[in-house]
Amino acid sequence: MDKTKRRLLSKRRRLIKELPKTYQMLSGLYAIYRQCGKPGCKCQRDYRHGPAWCLHYQKEGKTKIIYIPPQYADKVKGQGEDFKRYKKIGEEICRINRELLKRHLKK
């Protein structure tokens, strides 16, 4: 086994260990800022109320939205960060796998 292949395999093992240990990760989380509609409220000019957190997903071809109550916002934001980290690590693992495949096919 050549040195580069060993380095790639080692890096892949390290990345796999870094994957988030939580299985409660969420994707599709975003913040919204809204106008309340009350006459004279500052949101009618340049201010918006918020953030209010929402989770959107697809079900049977339709976009669904779950509004997150403020008391759960911090926990849900953490789950969203776990998903982002999971996705970033997964993309790096895929890059390593592609490189290993290219090296294998050259033989």
Number of C-beta neighbours around residue 104 at 10 A? 9
pLDDT at position 25 over 70: yes
In a domain, 53, yes or no: yes
pLDDT in tens, 49-84: 888 889 888 899 999 999 998 888 888 888 888 888
- Tokens, residue 43: 């949101």
In a domain, 19, yes or no: no
- Tokens, residue 48: 């918006």
Q: What range does the domain containing 46 cover? A: 3-11+25-106
Number of domains in the chain: 1
**pTM (whole model) above 0.75:** no
56-83 burial, b for 16+ CB within 10 Å, e for fewer? eeeeeeeeeeeebeeeeeeebbebbebb
In a domain, 20, yes or no: no
29: exposed, middle or buried (C-beta count within 10 Å: 0-12, 13-18, 19+)? buried
